[in-house]
Structures are given as C-alpha cells and as structure tokens.
Amino acid sequence: MTAFSSFQVLPVEVTLPEMTRLPTPTDSGQPRRYGDFDTFLQALDYAAEGESGFNIYSGRGELLEALPYRTLRQQAREVAQRLLSLGLKPGERVAIVAESDGDFARIFFGCQYAGLIPAPLPLPVAFGGREGYVATLRGMVESADASALVIASIIASWKDDLIEGLDLRFAGVPEDLLATPITVTDLPDVGPDDISYLQFSSGSTRFPMGIAVTQRSGMANAHAIALNGLKVREKGDRCVSWLPLYHDMGLVGFFLTPMTCQLSVDLLPTREFARRPHVWLDLISRNRGTISYSPSFGYELCARRATSISLDLSCWRVAGIGGDMIRYHILEDFAERFAASGFDSHAFTASYGMAETTLAISFVPLGSGIQTDTIDLRILETQAIASPSNDPSQMLRTFVICGEVLPGHELEVRDSEGKVVKDRQLGTIFVRGPSLMQGYFRQPQETAKVVDADGWLNTGDLGYMLNGQVVITGRAKDLIIINGRNIWPQDLEWSAETEIASLRSRDVAVFSVDESDGEKIVALVQCRATTPEARETLRNDTASLFRRQHGVDVSVILVPPHTLPQTSSGKLTRARAKSMLLSGAFKPIDTTISVA
C-alpha cells in the first residue's frame, strides 16, 4: 500500500503479526464522549487516546487494514504536512474520489489538520459509463474550485480525461500524494466556524453544487445523532457499513459520527456490495455489530438472495433505514427471512435527513420498529389530507413514519402560503437548527432560494405531521399534477414492482412530459424478457395495472436492463431518466410479434 516517512502500512499479502491482523476492539477503553467537541480534529485527538478505529474489509469480508484512531491521527497529521508542502493554502479545496479505504481516511483527516476543505467525490458505480462519470466528476471539481484532485487507484487510467484543462496543483493517486516530500511542518489552527468539508448531494449531475458544512454544524449533527438518535451506549456498540463515503449517510453516519463518539467501524467497499450483499450481514454477525444502516434496496438484495452463511444477527440493535423513500414491505420480507438468524424487527429504525442539514433531521424512538400510517390515496391526491383508512374498496397508500425532530432543531409543515398546517394536512417540510449547512459553496443565490432570512430551510420534500412525528410522502419536484390530482410517481413505481413478478426494485421510473395536448405520464420499465411476446405482455400488463389501480393512462416504454440512471447513492433519478428519454438515449426494445 502506502509508505510514510516515519511508519509503513504493509501490503495485505505480507504476513503480519497476529495483533495487526485483528480488527480494532469494540470498546475504546476510555470514557464515552458523544460528539461534544468544537471540531472534528478535537474529536479525533480524543479518540486517538483509545483503542477503537476503522477496519477496512474487502468485498469478500477479509480484513485488509485495521486503522486505530491513534494511528490515523499520526498519519493524518503527516498527510497534512505533505498537502501544505504542495503549496496548498488553508481554505483551498481538495477533491477526493472516495474509495472506502484507509487512504481516504488519511487524506480526509489530513485535509482537516491542514485547514484544507476536502470534497469527497463518487466512484463510477452508479453512472451509465465512463463518459457520463467523467463529465459529472469534472463538474464537481470545477464547482468546488478544487486545487487538487486525488483519484482512486481503481480509475487511475482515467486521469487524463478527468483533469484535462483543469488548473490543479496536484492530480494523482493516493500513492503519489503520500510520496510528496515534507517541507512544511507547522499546521494551522482550525476553528468551529471554518468549513469542514463540501458534500455534493447524491443527485448532483448537470449543475453540481457543493454543500458547505462547517465544523460547528457537522459536530452539532454528530452529537445529536449519537446522543439522541442512536443513543450510543457506554460500552458494546460497534458500527458496520457498506455505504459510500461520498454520500452523507456514509460520510457523516458511518465515518465521522462514530469517530466523534469513539466507536469502531467496519467498512466494506460500496462498489462490491451488490455482488455479495450477505458479506454485510456476515460482518455484523462475526464482529457483533450493533448499528448499521441501508436504503431499502440493500435489505431487498439480502432478502432475495439465498446464502449458506450461518448468521447470528441478535446483536443488531439499530437496523437503520434511510436515504430514500422507505418501502415497508421490503423490510417485512427481510425481517421474516432473517428471523431465524436472530434478527429482531424492532431493531428497524426509520429516519429522515438530507445533506443540507449535514445528515439527520429526525429519528423514530429506538426499539419501536417500522411504524406505518395507511391513508386514502384519492383524498390525499385531491384534498391534500392524509385521511386514515383501512377500507379495501378504497385506493390505499401506506407510509412509514419517520420520527421526531432531533433536540435543538425545529421542523414545520407549511402550506403554499407559508402557514404551518395541522396534523395530517399535506405541505412542504421546513427545518431549522444548528446542523444546517453554511450554504451552497459560492452559490449565494441558490442558497437564498432554499434558506430564508430566519434560517429556515425549504427541504423540497412533501409530508405531514402525525402525533409529533413526520411522515414523508415524496419530493415536490417529482409530483405529477393531472386533472386536479397530485400523483406521486413512486406510488405507480411501487405498484408495478410489487404486482408484476418479473420486475424488481428500481426497475420503473415514472414522470410526466409536456405535450401539445397537455401533460402525459410516462413509465420507463426495465425489461429482461427475451421474446417479443413476453415483452408485449409486460408492457400491456404494466399499463393495465396503472389504469386499474390508479385510474390513469400511462405510456409504458420498455428499456434494456441496467439503463435507468441512479444517483451516486443508488437512488433512482427520475429527472435524469426523463432527460435521457427526451434526448433519445434509450434504445427501443422490439415487441413486434412475428406471424408464422
């Protein structure tokens, strides 16, 4: 791996002493502190006094590197000296393609100690190809006005395309950076109001904007998550994660927050999760992990695929769910599938958050499991009221309750005139509190569009309140308005993916397009059928389902498997799918039935 001047991280194939091949212990051996620091540097300085740390695993679950926080601190301070020796100045940005490994940790915290601003960037896992990925990444580098770019070794051959025409003082793989001679040894003071990092939201594509998170706001959210949301215990808690470190749930939830409360974290590579999802569960079982999160599709992959691994998941007390609209039936399937392995469905913990609030906004009370609210969908669509109903003759919709706002923060649901609405009345969700971003980096006009003079953030999400807890119904920008009805695209998507056996999660993208005679609903459906007859059946069945269950006519267009675009965090992106359709990016699938 990488050699440093005063120490060496040995290659994996080298035989190491027994101790170095063991993960860091669950308990740090020091009094627990719950993110009550001014900066992430202070938090790492304290964590370095204990035994816990990061543990880097391969996609097969093999320990590649145990990185105690005390070692990370030493290495990160040296990386800071190397960064400053390149001529970089405090406040400048360093873009880092975020592989889930020790080098990312060393460089990210090296930037912190150097007073530089790291900007984690996605790997090409969720992009349609090299061209789209390169364009997106370059847009992020330019938006951050980065002075350096650290490229993951796995895409080192793409370097020329990534940096062409960019004015950078450094561009290379981690090994190149960590071989930089040290000529600057003094490190700057870093304060709570300094920007800690830039977070690009997972949907950033054409006009990426970096979300500027200060040390103060980052620490406020980490403290609230650890103390109030997860209720981290004095002893016995351990985190396991496959989530990407370029996304807020991975970066804040399972990289920064655990360190601020001295927890050990076992990290799996995001890019290999889909191939071997059960390695995630095996690692929880082997290392007695207690806290781990996933979007719905991660639980779905595990429940769908058979495994011969013997698991004991009785240790898992917080099985978090977030990052996308929560599909409760997927969680029910997972709980049923792994009940025999000791999994307790009460461990499911729904939450709500976004990068603009650092990460978390609300948590359900721990131990309550998935709580739902079933409402009459037609009343919601036409009157904007979540009227409870269990009448099977009505069109019903079940939402997952996403919990109470974190202490020290505020949440309001407002109507179109800005008035706070009553329980069960649909509106736009606004939040305020110490975890809010400083703003979109160097985009004051864009910041002013979502944050008002009183510090309230318009989240762009729609929802309603229910007995002090928030229920999310969808994104305002995705809402389809047809003949006075407010139609949520995910309702149609979930109906098709649930009722049609050949479809899987994230196989359907629904949106509206403007035509000369009005607005039309379109559904792009990923098709795996190989015969024209089966393809035509899929298209007809899907259109018929939408007409029967939702009372709308939908133009169903079949597209090849793996072509619907996703964000860097694995969420379906309807806006990009629509843009691809209108630009002719999808190759039509033949459904012509030959006549003998």
Identify the band that residue 3 occupies on the pLDDT scale cut at 50, 70 and 90.
very low
Asked if pLDDT for residue 9 goes beyond 60, the answer is: no
> Are the C-beta atoms of 367 and 190 separated by less than 8 Å?
no
More confident residue, 412 or 585: 412
* Tokens standing for residue 43: 């938090």
More confident residue, 241 or 4: 241
- For residue 515, the model assigns a pLDDT of 76
Give the Cα separation of 238 and 259 in Å (integer): 11
List own/partner pairs for 372-380 with CB under 8 A and 24 or more apart. 372/328, 372/398, 372/399, 372/400, 372/401, 373/398, 373/399, 373/401, 373/466, 373/471, 374/398, 374/399, 375/399, 377/491, 380/426, 380/473, 380/486
- For residue 32, the model assigns a pLDDT of 98
- For residue 16, the model assigns a pLDDT of 34
Start-to-end C-alpha separation, the chain:
63
Mean pLDDT of the chain: 91
* Tokens standing for residue 121: 């960037």
- Nearest one of 478, 470, 477 to 430, comparing CA atoms: 470
> Are the C-beta atoms of 428 and 459 separated by less than 8 Å?
yes
Give the Cα separation of 354 and 433 in Å (integer): 13
Asked if pLDDT for residue 451 goes beyond 90, the answer is: yes
Phi, psi of 375 (to 5 degrees): -130, 165
Q: Helices marked H in 23-129 — which ranges?
A: 40-47, 69-85, 102-114
Identify the band that residue 12 occupies on the pLDDT scale cut at 50, 70 and 90.
very low
- Partner residues linked to 405 by β-bridges: 362
Encoded amino acid at 57, one letter: Y
- For residue 1, the model assigns a pLDDT of 31
Give the Cα separation of 440 and 200 in Å (integer): 9
CA dihedral 300, 305, 308, 313 (to 10 degrees): 0
Q: Which CATH number fits domain 376-477: 3.30.420.40, 2.30.38.10, 1.20.1050.10, 3.90.76.10?
A: 2.30.38.10
Encoded amino acid at 127, one letter: F
- For residue 481, the model assigns a pLDDT of 86
Q: Helices marked H in 466-582 — which ranges?
A: 489-499, 532-550, 574-582
Asked if pLDDT for residue 344 goes beyond 60, the answer is: yes
> Are the C-beta atoms of 57 and 70 separated by less than 8 Å?
no
Strands 318-321 and 348-353: parallel
- For residue 306, the model assigns a pLDDT of 80
- Partner residues linked to 425 by β-bridges: 385
* Tokens standing for residue 131: 């061209």
Identify the band that residue 579 occupies on the pLDDT scale cut at 50, 70 and 90.
confident
- Nearest one of 501, 513, 516 to 555, comparing CA atoms: 513
Encoded amino acid at 472, one letter: I
Encoded amino acid at 243, one letter: L
Question: CATH class for domain 482-582?
Answer: alpha beta
> Are the C-beta atoms of 552 and 540 separated by less than 8 Å?
no
Domain segments of the chain as ranges: 24-276, 376-477, 482-582
Question: Could you tell me where the beta strands, DSSP code E, fall in 104-252?
Answer: 117-121, 148-150, 170-172, 195-200, 210-214, 239-241
DSSP letter assigned to residue 451: B
Identify the band that residue 484 occupies on the pLDDT scale cut at 50, 70 and 90.
confident
Strands 396-400 and 372-376: antiparallel
Strands 469-475 and 457-466: antiparallel
pTM score = 0.88
- For residue 126, the model assigns a pLDDT of 58
> Are the C-beta atoms of 249 and 239 separated by less than 8 Å?
no
> Are the C-beta atoms of 475 and 462 separated by less than 8 Å?
yes
* CATH placement of domain 24-276: 3.40.50.12780
CB atoms within 10 A of CB 385: 15
Is the dihedral angle over the CA atoms 589, 568, 56, 160 positive or is it negative?
positive
> Are the C-beta atoms of 489 and 556 separated by less than 8 Å?
no
- For residue 562, the model assigns a pLDDT of 86
Give the Cα separation of 490 and 511 in Å (integer): 9
* Tokens standing for residue 371: 């709580």
- For residue 583, the model assigns a pLDDT of 87
DSSP letter assigned to residue 226: I
3-state secondary structure of 290: coil
Asked if pLDDT for residue 308 goes beyond 90, the answer is: no
Q: Residue 240: which residues within 8 A CB-CB, separation 6 or more?
A: 265, 266, 268, 280, 283, 284, 287, 289, 291, 292
More confident residue, 418 or 587: 418
- Nearest one of 192, 196, 223 to 112, comparing CA atoms: 196
More confident residue, 263 or 594: 263
* Tokens standing for residue 158: 């793409």
> Are the C-beta atoms of 1 and 11 separated by less than 8 Å?
yes
More confident residue, 346 or 127: 346
CA dihedral 233, 237, 242, 245 (to 10 degrees): 50
Average pLDDT over residues 270-287: 95
* Tokens standing for residue 171: 């561009």
CA angle 374–376–378, rounded 5-degree value: 145
